[in-house]
A = this chain, B = another copy of it.
Amino acid sequence: MGELYSHTQTAAHAEALTVAEVRLTPILIADPPLLNTQGVHQPLTPRLIIEVVTADGTVGVGETYGDTKYLELAKPLGEALPGRPVSDLNGLFTVAEQVCGEPGDVSDSVDVGGLRGVQTADKMRLSVISGFEVACLDALGKVLGLPVHALLGGKVRDSVEYSAYLFYRPARHPGADTPRDDWGAALDPAGVVAQARRLADTHGFASFKLKGGVFPPDEEIAAVRALAEAFPGRPLRLDPNGAWSVETSLRVAAELGDVLQYLEDPTSTTARMAEVAARTDVPLATNMCVTTFPEIKDAFTTGAVQVVLSDHHYWGGLRNTRELAAICRTFGVGLSMHSNTHLGISLAAMTQVAATVPNLDYACDSHYPWQTDDVITSRHVFTGGRLTVSDAPGLGVELDRGALKALHQRWLDDDGTMRDRDDAAAMRVAEPDWQTPSVPRW
């Protein structure tokens, strides 16, 4: 009987598991004026929604960066997939290498929004693959009746903890018709604490990360001190995106060592991180100097980082994220999750993979509370700072086609100024003389 069942399944799956169509939909989503060391988030920022449709009509969804260069890479990959098994996730890497080519000139660009160091064709291709991998996993899970976490070996926890992601910000974007919100400005310690309190009250977050590198270090030290006083004992983190020198990093570590869970990318490059790490007991985290597998060896053997903030968009998908986790376990390096601006599909993907990783040592980052737009029918809700791990087939989210259409129309209607995220250009709208600061800034 088992055999018969198995054979019937095989026949049914052979069709269901073949990719019939891939749909790529670039969209523009509203984004608050969040500040970082390079500038400010644009009023609208691009994302790419990927749909992988199998021959039986099952639709899997994925999400990744939507800037023009990423779209250029995604198009040939999408065209290459029909006819291939949706389960062939290892093959995505081979196919992508074959068809994607080089994405224009990447040598002079800084990674969109990631403040991830120098862009390379490899990094961009992996980010594109990640969106396809998630869409394939979603489709595969739906066809098989399994949640994505089961396709990754099963969840080891029923919920995943996230931290509050605090940003310096003005009350609103410049310009008459830019998106607004009611958060108000947060440009000093009191503003940061007020923001933290609202995020904690609304979502239950128990830990706090402040995006720094915006103001001179003493101001940011004061903000973290204010957080420590307002939320005694809560884990705190500060992330200046590599804006500081080694000496400044060490000074901040010394001044905040008693309240920081970790210090995130205080300085740029693995070599400088190693210098800082050698002279402080405060753990250093990164999503800048270790964002690809080839960067691991140097950083881990020099002790440059104590925590890797993984990001499935950077690392090439959920399965690569699990491999990164295995490497971190093996080398005694901590693991948590980084976030860029993203929607509910990526948050579902993050939560599914996070649920399967035994050594998820810290609450994950997510920009999600700052996003008012989404392309799923039912937004994720944090309870006590946690998301419940969905056991529904696939990612457990449903595409809101009306929302997708509207956000795509916004992309179509855009004159090109918002289609490529550029935090420095956005900053120049308010401050015409703004230039991307050179590093170290302080």
**Chain B residues with CB under 8 A of A438:** none
Q: Is A85 in contact with chain B by the CB < 8 A criterion?
A: yes
The answer to whether A59 and B2 touch across the interface, beta carbons within 8 angstroms, is: yes
Cα(A384)–Cα(B112), bound, Å: 50
Residues A5 and B13 in contact in the complex (CB < 8 Å), given A90-B156, A154-B87, A156-B90: no
Cα(A145)–Cα(B143), bound, Å: 11
Q: Chain A, 302-324, contact with B by CB distance < 8 Å: what is the 0/1 string?
A: 00000000000000000100110
The answer to whether A297 and B9 touch across the interface, beta carbons within 8 angstroms, is: no
Cα(A222)–Cα(B312), bound, Å: 52
Cα(A294)–Cα(B90), bound, Å: 27
**Chain B residues with CB under 8 A of A7:** 145, 393
Q: What would be 29 A-B contacts, judged by CB atoms less than 8 Å apart? A: A1-B56, A2-B54, A2-B56, A2-B57, A2-B59, A2-B142, A5-B16, A5-B58, A6-B143, A6-B394, A7-B145, A7-B393, A10-B145, A13-B145, A14-B145, A87-B146, A88-B153, A90-B156, A90-B356, A90-B358, A93-B358, A293-B326, A296-B330, A296-B331, A301-B301, A323-B323, A323-B326, A323-B327, A326-B327
Cα(A87)–Cα(B297), bound, Å: 33
**Chain B residues with CB under 8 A of A56:** 1-2, 5
**Chain B residues with CB under 8 A of A10:** 145, 393
Task: Classify chain A's interface size.
Answer: 35 or more
Assembly stoichiometry (copies): 2
Of A11, A144, A323, most B-chain CB atoms within 10 Å: A144
Q: Is A12 in contact with chain B by the CB < 8 A criterion?
A: yes
> In residues 257-308 of chain A, which contact B (Cβ within 8 Å)?
293-294, 296-297, 301
The answer to whether A144 and B9 touch across the interface, beta carbons within 8 angstroms, is: yes
Q: Which of B2, B154, B297 contacts A90 (CB 8 A)?
A: B154
The answer to whether B6 and A153 touch across the interface, beta carbons within 8 angstroms, is: no
The answer to whether A153 and B90 touch across the interface, beta carbons within 8 angstroms, is: yes
The answer to whether A88 and B327 touch across the interface, beta carbons within 8 angstroms, is: no
Cα(A58)–Cα(B91), bound, Å: 29
Q: Which of B58, B91, B323, B332 contacts A154 (CB 8 A)?
A: B91
The answer to whether A156 and B91 touch across the interface, beta carbons within 8 angstroms, is: yes
SS of A interface (majority): helix
Q: Is A252 in contact with chain B by the CB < 8 A criterion?
A: no
> In residues 1-26 of chain A, which contact B (Cβ within 8 Å)?
1-2, 5-7, 9-14, 16-17
Q: Which of B9, B85, B296 contacts A143 (CB 8 A)?
A: B9
Shortest Cβ gap from A320 to chain B (Å): 8
Of A5, A54, A90, most B-chain CB atoms within 10 Å: A90
Q: Is A155 in contact with chain B by the CB < 8 A criterion?
A: yes
Cα(A94)–Cα(B157), bound, Å: 11
Cα(A147)–Cα(B432), bound, Å: 59
Nearest 10 interchain pairs by C-beta: A9-B145, A10-B145, A323-B326, A88-B154, A2-B58, A2-B57, A90-B153, A13-B145, A89-B153, A87-B150
The answer to whether B85 and A154 touch across the interface, beta carbons within 8 angstroms, is: yes
Q: Is A329 in contact with chain B by the CB < 8 A criterion?
A: yes
Residues A13 and B146 in contact in the complex (CB < 8 Å), given A56-B1, A332-B297: yes
Cα(A360)–Cα(B59), bound, Å: 34
The answer to whether A12 and B326 touch across the interface, beta carbons within 8 angstroms, is: no
Cα(A330)–Cα(B9), bound, Å: 38
Cα(A144)–Cα(B294), bound, Å: 35
**Chain B residues with CB under 8 A of A332:** 297
The answer to whether B88 and A150 touch across the interface, beta carbons within 8 angstroms, is: yes
